Structure 1
Amino acid sequence: MPNYTTYKPHNEISTIVRRQLMLPADSSLIHRDADLPGLAVLLNVDAFAAALQVELPEINIQSIRSTYVRYKRGTNCLVAYELNVAGTKVPIYAKAFGANSWNKLQKYRNEISVPGSLGVGRLILAAYGIAVCFFPNDRDLKQLPQLVDQQTRKHLLHKMSATDLYETQLLNLRYKPERRYVGQLRTDTNIQAVVKAYTTEDYLQAKTNAQAFHSGTVLHIAPTLGYSDGDRLLAFEWISRLPLHEAIAQPQFNYDAVTLTGAALAEVHAQNPANLNVLSRNAEAQSLLSMAADLSFICPPIADLAQNLAKQFAQELRSLPQLTYPIHGDFNAEQVLLGENNVTFLDFDRAVRSDPAADLGSFIARLEHDKLRGNLSLYRLERIKEALLQSYPTSFLYNRIELYTAIALFRLACEPFRYREPNWHEKTAAILQQVETILQPLSTPQSA
């Protein structure tokens, strides 16, 4: 669960329901990154809420929780929060800057904003080098205010050729500030569509990927309902089906659903879509080395293990031939919806041309992660792996599935910190130890 603190009116912190204390790992990080003074405020929800309450004394912040962190040492740190004000959940985010923070804060201050649900659009905490944005104001997702407002949303839907969605309401589903927004368009009785808002940097490839794949025998792709290049928006048909990750969590589970998923994944890998980016072996290796450097700074006790694992990954990857199969790029059970005779795959934003073993490894790594969290038994994990590979032709993959399982699990090591989980440093170490366990029996991969 994210960090959570409850407040009394007039900025008096309740000693009865106060739950969050600064973790030693957070305190250590703050001490080591002296170039980012606002970090001490953002990583402590007590301190951030107090600073916010001073600037907005008329607002009674009943509770606050941090939900997401994006951190670049010495440069900036973005933290998303959810406020509870008068029983209403209010999403906001704050970004702290290091050197030249005055210039960067000025850019936020000069941005055109609309009043959020609390009546304020942006707030500058100059003493800490922090800019605060109240939803729907977003530095890089400038289309959000128009999307959230019902009247201007109709204009956007018209530009997207989605006029049949005029009378829908918008419900927030997922929001990563300055990255991507996902909302649900629905009436009082029906869910009709999903709308996604992208940054300028990410939109064109996301649009290309969304239109690159087609449905097959057991594979179903959610249709694109419309788009607006100028507003960087995509709309998709809402598919009312049971997500695979929810089915897996049920006491009684039919493993045939996973076998069907493996067959559908094989259909993805057999297609020949145009204009997908190629992910090189060297780029994969370099990203893992960079991630190890970040993990080492955030959590020094695991530095040696993280760097050794990344070096081993880099060596293994660079020894393999380049493959250019179309892959999903972020494949896991949350991206799969179950039908009677087919399965729907969602969210091809990260689709590239690369090694198909990466998708299989990504799927299995999420199961390993669930097992570490106590949400999945070893028996069920092994049964799911067996069912997934039963319908997928794996003979040409050799032991690269295990390699990519370890790689994908390694990439998940940043999630406990990113999503502000209690004792995130211990969970990060546990993930890396499991990565090491998966890697131990692997021999040098054979050529594909």
Structure 2
Amino acid sequence: MSATDLGRPRQDRAATLDRFATLDGPVPDRSALERPLLDRFSEALSATTMGPRLATVGLGGPCHVLDAKLEPGVRAVVLYECGGRLVRGDLLGVGAATPSAGLVVEPGVSLSPFPLDPDLPSLPRVTDPRHLGPELASVLGGTGRPRLGHPERLAIDILRYRPGKRLTARLRHPGLDGPLVAKAYHDDAKATAVATEAVQVTAASQASCRGGRGAGLLAFAPPVGSAPCLGVVFQEAVRGLALDDLLGSRHPVTATTVTGAARAGAALAELHDLSLPTGRQRPVEAELLRFAQRSERVAAVRPQLGESMGALADRLVEVLRTLAPPRTGPVHGDFKPGQLLLRGDRVVLLDLDHLGTADQAVDAGTFIASLRQQAVRSRLAGRPPQDEEMEALSRALLEGYLRAGGPVDQLPRIRWHVAVALERKALRAFARSPRSPFPALLVDEAQRCLRALDGERP
């Protein structure tokens, strides 16, 4: 079931769920589970191969692979779209994956038609206006907003679905002043933390402006409330020019894009200067440990790549010991062009899922790593080199950050965090496409960053 199913009669949707919850598909031969993991996962990633197989269990129509995540020994998940319906596929024999909806096809893929998700049990209610509508009406009533009549008439449009992690949807209703955004999380505690911190960071930003500390450049999607019983956070929808689109690989770098990057840097300095009470600590040392562990898992299926990832993790630890102490404070935790909107003279910062307290150099480092990733992707695709353009945008970000009060003495740590973020991206690239050359190229780019950092330091 997908976003298109939300417009179907409620009884039809219920019948569809009942059918998928009881239908038994063909059980693969045990020998299929004993094949090499990369062979099985690559087969599961082939829409041409999997489309006919999904059709045999009632999931026919054009088949596309939308997303994937492979962590050897932990999970192997593929997100399909079949005839307009979203389907989560878990490779059996990897981690704790078990058949969840009675649907299993070769090469041992357990299927969960949306909104069934073994890690997001609230999704059937979150995507049903009869459940989400009254919850939203209750939240709005507690904010003093006008009463939401006939909440079951709520229209729910799926924007993004990350299997096992999060669903993002746009909500529309005649009784609303404008569309809202709902985010459903796999963990109720996570949803509560995000909702609480959205209120805190908005209040802190407003207080900073009133106190004359900030330029009022930074803005956030206004929080509305949360429904903890569903693990859902509500916020107002915000329009603006996506910085990710402005900096896209097919767009030339212009004065506008350079200005956009500089404004992003200035907005980041405002965020870092906020007095924000957050208890979520995000020490980079814990992430470096995870890098080493995940590199070992990669090495089990791609030895050379896993070894290079492990060597990079070791090198990151070595260089960290030589750096000056960090400036610790509020961080976004996932600061990249895709998280920013330009709206008039404001910069709107989206998705506060990773907000916390950490080494503040992480944010600028993550942003610059996204630009370097784009340059690497362009080279891999055979497009004209973008290295100089991405470097110009990186300089613009840092100049905007420093002009707005960012600390100059943290530049070496920012450059180190670029390499950290590139390793993170390399691991994610492997998870999405384990046989691609892209992860190895990102590891090489990270090593180049560290070599350049060695040349800059006395």
CA RMSD of aligned residues (A): 3.1
Q: CA deviation at 1:437?
A: 1.4
Structure 2 distance, partners of 1:101, 1:347, is 29
1:101, distance to aligned residue in structure 2 (A): 6.9
Alpha-carbon deviations, 1:105-126, whole Å to 9, x = none? 3xx3xxxxxxxxxxxxx33328
Q: Which residue is 2:398 aligned to?
A: 389
1:141 aligns with 2:141: no
> What is the rounded CA distance, in whole Å, between the counterparts of 1:202 and 1:400 in structure 2?
29
What do residues 88-107 of structure 1 show as CA deviations (whole Å, max 9, x unaligned)? Answer: x11110112328979x43xx
Who is 1:409 aligned against?
Answer: 422
- CA shift, 1:272, in A, is 2.3
Q: What's the CA shift for 1:187?
A: 5.7
**1:207-244 residue CA offsets vs partner (Å, 9 max, x unmatched):** 33323312341111111112111111101111111111
User: Which residue matches 1:112?
Assistant: none
**CA 1:226–1:99 in structure 2 vs 1: closer, same or farther (change >3 Å)?**
closer
Matched, 1:280 2:283: yes
CA distance in 2, matches of 1:78, 1:50: 19
Change (3 A) 1:319 1:354: farther
Aligned to 2:437: 426
Return the offset for 1:401: 1.4
Q: CA deviation at 1:359?
A: 0.3
Q: Which residue pairs with 2:224 in the alignment?
A: 225
Q: Which AA in structure 2 matches 1:143?
A: S
Q: d(CA) in 2 for partners of 1:446 and 1:377?
A: 26
Query: 8 Å contact 1:219–1:344 — kept in the other structure?
Result: yes
Q: Aligned runs of 1:122-133 on 2, under 5 Å?
A: 122-125=101-104, 130-133=109-112
Judging changes above 3 Å, is the alpha-carbon distance between structure 1 residues 147 and 354 closer, same or farther for their aligned structure 2 residues? Answer: same
Provide the identity percentage.
24
- The separation in 1 between residues aligned to 2:43 and 2:104, in whole angstroms, is 10
220-229 vs 70-79, which moves further: 70-79
Tell me: CA distance 1:263–1:164, structure 2 relative to 1, closer, same or farther (3 Å). Answer: farther
What is the CA–CA distance in structure 1 between the aligned matches of 2:69 and 2:259, rounded to whole Å?
38
Contact 2:326–2:360 under 8 Å retained in 1: no
- Which sits farther off after the overlay, 263-272 or 243-252? 243-252
- Structure 1 residues 355 and 445: alpha-carbon distance in aligned structure 2, compared to 1, 3 A threshold: farther
TM-score (norm 2): 0.77
CA distance in 1, matches of 2:415, 2:266: 19
1:234 to 1:100, Cα distance in 2 relative to 1, 3 A: closer
- Aligned pairs for 1:28-427 (under 5 A) are 31-33=35-37, 39=41, 42-56=44-58, 61-83=60-82, 85=83, 89-98=84-93, 104-105=98-99, 108=100, 122-125=101-104, 130-161=109-140, 164=148, 166=151, 167-186=153-172, 192-200=179-187, 202-214=190-202, 215=205, 216=209, 217-249=216-248, 250-251=251-252, 252-254=254-256, 255-318=258-321, 321=325, 323-374=327-378, 377-392=386-401, 393-420=406-433, 424-427=435-438
| Structure 1 partner of 2:17 | none
Aligned length: 392
Quickly say closer, same or farther: Cα 1:205–1:334, change in 2 above 3 A: same
CA–CA distance in structure 2, aligned partners of residues 357 and 275 of structure 1: 18
Q: Which has the higher helix share?
A: 2
In structure 2, the CA distance between the partners of 1:298 and 1:209, relative to structure 1 (3 Å rule), is farther
Unaligned runs of 5+ in 2: 1-32, 142-146, 210-215
- Counterpart CA distance in 2 for 1:354 and 1:204 is 20
- Relative distance call for 1:50 and 1:101 in structure 2 (3 A) is farther
CA contact (8 A) 2:72 2:94 kept: no
Among candidates 407, 423, 447, match of residue 436 of structure 1: 447
Residue ranges of structure 1 left out of the alignment (5+ in a row): 1-28, 109-121
Q: How much has 1:265 moved relative to structure 2? A: 0.5
* Farther off after superposition, 189-198 or 177-186: 189-198
Moved over 6 A (4+): 99-102, 444-447
- Asked whether the 8 Å contact 2:75–2:95 carries over to 1, the reply is no
TM-score, with structure 1 as normaliser: 0.78
Aligned residue number for residue 8 of structure 2: none
Secondary structure, counterpart of 1:139 in structure 2 = coil
Tell me if structure 1 keeps the 8 A contact 2:167–2:185.
yes
